[in-house]
Amino acid sequence: MYQDIPVILDCYADWCAPCKKLEPILVKKIKKFNGIVDEEEEGSSKEEQEDVGEANPIGTETAERLKMRLVKLNIDNLPTLSNQLQIRSIPAVFLIYKGNIVDMFQGVPTEKTLDQFFETALLLNRMSNDKDIMANVFSDLEAMINENKLENALNVVRDSMKMEEWKANYEAHMILIEAYCLLFTAKQGEKYVDTIPVRKSLEQLTEEKMNDLPDFYLNLASEVDAELLRLEHQQAPDEQENLLRTKLEESIEQDSKGKPDLTTMFELGEYLSNKNKFEEAIDLLLDIVAIERNWEERKAQTLLQTIFKKLGPQNDLTVKGRKKLSKLLF
């Protein structure tokens, strides 16, 4: 499914009521973005939807000016392809560009989610080697940031970063947009963000690369630096943290077997968690479980689960932490 325009892959089944509800919504959106006057839908008969095939809600005379294309996949007729896409529920809709899955959603989405999905598709359509078109895409990205559509901007810029011709012309722009979206999406959602990879990414911004940047990106750089400093200051050791660390070290030295005081270890882990220093907090709490798995009615395990919930199931610290905890318990 490699095409130069974005493909909207609608995975459905004849028995699926939500699929039937979603299809006309998708067709209407695609007509809108393709600039087609809404007419009676053509080519949407059951026969055309039996296997992968294009639902053609536009006339053939407009094919050359399409911005995106709708393709239907009946999961009952093509189970192998469905398995490859790891479809667990339907409707499932994928945004595919040049053979890569860029975005997807399952179920009937909200209007906001659907708008963001199609805005991404439209921006992908505009991506090419033409510098004027590149400039237009970055103009749209700037608008997204101004409108606080940070998740959508992040998806688009990360896809752009995969293309060498874009990096050659807009590397500094993309690094700053990615850093800004990461930091401020996390801030708005009160979520944890690891500042180290952001810092490493920003290290690529040499003075030469920053010299000719427009004011918009220089302002982004200032906001990113300020937010990083705020986070790093928030995470810097304070007097209470240093006291707990000293107390823990002394307990190890004073114990004949070098065993740490678990109460102090827990207090330090809890304190670090409250400071958003989750990686070290998780390690300390896992150490407690390793030493005494049911200590204080499983207080360490309970706090670990609280941290994992705060970080979210997809976070690397959550995934690694849960694997280590499972090994200790089972």
- Distance in angstroms between the alpha carbons of the first and the last residue of the chain: 44
Predicted local confidence at residue 173, as pLDDT: 94
Could you tell me the pLDDT band of residue 145, with boundaries at 50, 70 and 90? very high
Predicted local confidence at residue 163, as pLDDT: 75
**Computed over its alpha carbons, how large is the radius of gyration of the chain?**
25
- Model pLDDT for residues 189-232, shown as the tens digit of each residue: 667 677 877 888 898 998 888 988 999 999 999 999 999 888 87
The domains of the chain are located at 7-108, 126-236, 239-329
Could you tell me the pLDDT band of residue 241, with boundaries at 50, 70 and 90? very high
Count Cβ atoms below 10 Å from residue 314 Cβ, excluding itself. Answer: 7
Phi and psi torsions of 108, nearest 5°: -90, 115
Predicted local confidence at residue 4, as pLDDT: 67
Residue 63, Cα to own-chain centre: how many angstroms? 32
Angstrom distance (rounded) from CA 108 to CA 130: 36
pLDDT mean over 153-178: 85
144: which strand partners? none
Eight-state DSSP code of residue 12: E
Q: What percent of the chain has pLDDT over 70?
A: 86
For the cut 70, the answer to whether the pLDDT of residue 61 exceeds it is no
Q: Check: pTM over 0.75? Answer yes or no.
A: no
Residues 6+ apart with CB under 8 A from 125: 5, 6, 67, 68
pLDDT mean over 49-56: 44
Could you tell me the pLDDT band of residue 244, with boundaries at 50, 70 and 90? very high
Could you tell me the pLDDT band of residue 330, with boundaries at 50, 70 and 90? confident
**Per the CATH hierarchy, to which homologous superfamily does domain 7-108 belong?**
Glutaredoxin (3.40.30.10)
Residues 6+ apart with CB under 8 A from 231: 183, 193, 195, 276
Architecture of domain 239-329: Alpha Horseshoe (1.25)
Cα torsion 78, 80, 85, 91 to 10°: value is 30
Residues 6+ apart with CB under 8 A from 163: 127
Predicted local confidence at residue 218, as pLDDT: 93
Q: Whose CA is closest to 181, among 198, 164, 169, 168?
A: 198
Amino acid at 323: K
| Most confident segment among 138-147, 179-188, 239-248 | 239-248
User: What does the mean pLDDT of the chain come to?
Assistant: 83
Eight-state DSSP code of residue 315: S
Give yes or no for a cis peptide into 57 (omega within 30° of 0). no
94: which strand partners? 9, 104
Predicted local confidence at residue 65, as pLDDT: 59
Angstrom distance (rounded) from CA 274 to CA 270: 6
Phi and psi torsions of 270, nearest 5°: -65, -40
Higher pLDDT, 169 or 42: 169
Give the tokens for residue 59: 């006339």
pLDDT mean over 301-321: 89
Angstrom distance (rounded) from CA 107 to CA 147: 26
- Give the 3-state secondary structure of residue 104: strand
